[in-house]
Structure 1
Amino acid sequence: MWSRAAWQYRASLLLTGTAQMLGASLDLAALLVMYSQVTTLAGFTLPQTLYLYGTTRLAFALSDVIASGMETLSDSIRLGTFDVMLIRPVGTLAQVLADQFTPKRFGKLIPSTATLVWAAQALPITWTPLKAMVCVGTVVCGTVIYCALWVLTNSISFVATDARESANVITYGGELITEFPFAIYQRSLALLMTFAIPLAFVTWEPSLYVLGRRDPLGLPGFLSFAPPVVALLLSLLAALVWRVAVRHYRSTGS
């Protein structure tokens, strides 16, 4: 329904989709400018950093297509329209995810996919079936992790309806953090983003195996293969939190 509505204004959809694509490319331009002044960043070359950038950007762009409808949850609760979702014969989570969907979100997929393809070709590594599987798994698991974070962080809207910006600190802020090698951050922050908020498993840990690098934090190498487990556990936690939040939902009465 939302896609058909957007398609009625084709010129607007094309322009906004292009704007999404160009906006998603701004960080890439900043990264290229940075590397025009240095040869490595925390020991990582441009193709290696672009591999990190491409995988995390593609994962986040896919999660944006799937789950960024969670951003409208606070408005639905405040305006009382979430009540309507409760009486429909479809799960509330599916309805919230689809709410206000727009095809312009697909624009973010183009620069991230192009960056990842270029980086994969430019890297001086020998691609094996296992490394290819880890690369694909990085994007898939990263997408699942980001989707789970969308649900977890925005579920706070059931308690504080004006907490959207707090959720964005984890979602959009997490995307920005994972674009760069974790070696540039203080050890305490890197460990926090590994074990408290598992953003390291979006791209950093699995990418170390693909790039043939040791973990600068000294963490064990088997963590490179942990993203599927982390994605599963985080998804289960998100589903549990959502179920509890909806069960304790109280209508605004509007």
Structure 2
Amino acid sequence: MAEAIYPRILHARLRGQLSYRASFLLDCLAQAVAQGGEVVVILVLFNRVTALGGFSVDEVLLVYALASTAFGLSDLFAGQLNALPAYIREGTFDVLLLRPLGTLPQVMVSDLPLKRIGRVFTGLVVLGYALPHNDVVWTPWSVGLLVVTPVAGSVIFSGIWVVACSVCFWLVDGQELANTVTYGSNTFTSYPISVYSGWLRRLMAFVVPGAFVAYYPALALLDKPDPLGGPGWLGWVGPVVAVLVAGLAGLVWKTAVRHYRGTGS
């Protein structure tokens, strides 16, 4: 079956990267340190304030850890979509259309830069700190939520990535616009949405459903009322939102590909 080709492609990519272990480890370390710089920003902020949007420093670190881990996973598997404008300009995308494989999976497995694991590592380290420093009531439900949240968040981020990059089929040089949404969503979700103004909050939290990546799940884990007055059940619907975003992303991608006319048009 055609689907069996994808694991072989990934295996070849991974084997090539692991052939140079010292370089791989240094790249992972660089990614982890760069991601850790955002933690330093949070700690510096809390040298000036005692709370941010109704959240203490440890609560903000929990939000950051969930968002960072989810984005790291998404960047690992969907970050290759940043190469789409080059595929379109150089005609490489035409080659993908000739193969008996899905175009989106082909782009996503075109590379799997393991160095981005460093981003995930930083998120997990901060999560390991934040959990015991917050009053999380541990139940089977909260444990399940903790496990599912980074996965659902990565699906949401990946869906956002697909939708944002699909604009490049119409605007070949639309990568900066796509980056504004994708990497902008990462920055937005790293903080409680209660710190943002009304229009930005509505746009990035619900139109771009960043609030379901970390903010609402963190509230559920902390058993904390939403400072904005949202219902408590919003913390548990992240997987449902992820499925909806994935479905929408697939639809947008198929529509964009159908409108693609190639470099010769």
Normalised by the size of structure 1, how large is the TM-score?
0.94
Alignment of 1:204-243 (within 5 A): 204-243=215-254
Match of 2:201 in 1: 190
Which consecutive residues of structure 1, in runs of 5 or more, have no partner in the other structure? none
Residue in 2 that maps onto 1:129:
140
Please show how residues 1-254 of structure 1 align to structure 2 within 5 Å. Answer: 1-253=12-264
Query: Is the deviation greater in 209-218 or in 51-60?
Result: 209-218
Q: Which residue in 1 is equivalent to 2:4? A: none
Q: What amino acid is aligned across from residue 178 of structure 1 in structure 2?
A: T
CA distance in structure 2 between the aligned counterparts of 1:176 and 1:80, rounded to whole angstroms: 33
**5+ long unaligned stretches in structure 2:** 1-11
The answer on whether the counterparts of 1:72 and 1:99 sit within 8 Å (CA) in structure 2 is: no
8 Å Cα contact 1:187/1:217 also seen in 2: no
Contact map agreement 2:137 2:221 (CA 8 A) in 1: no
Kindly report structure 1 stretches of 4+ aligned residues shifted beyond 4 Å: none
Report the residue type matching 1:175 in the other structure. N
Identity over aligned residues, as a percent?
A: 41
CA distance in structure 2 between the aligned counterparts of 1:127 and 1:12, rounded to whole angstroms: 40
Counterpart of 1:229 in structure 2: which amino acid? V
| Aligned counterparts of 1:104 and 1:54: Cα–Cα separation in 2 | 18
Shift of 1:54: 0.2
Contact 2:137 2:222 survives alignment (8 Å) = no
The one-letter code of the counterpart of 2:188 is: I
- Cα RMSD of the aligned pairs, angstroms, is 1.6
Aligned residue-pair number: 254
SS at match of 2:131: helix
Query: In structure 1, how many angstroms separate the alpha carbons of the residues matched to 2:37 and 2:76?
Result: 19
- What secondary structure is seen at the aligned counterpart in 2 of 1:121? coil
| Preserved CA contact (<8 Å) 2:193 2:205 | no
Between the aligned partners of 1:38 and 1:163, the Cα distance in structure 2 is 38
Q: How far off its partner does 1:252 sit? A: 0.5
| Equivalent residue letter for 1:241 | V
User: CA offset at residue 8 of structure 1?
Assistant: 4.1
TM-score (norm 2): 0.90
Task: Indicate if the aligned counterparts of 1:74 and 1:162 stay in contact, CA closer than 8 A.
Answer: yes
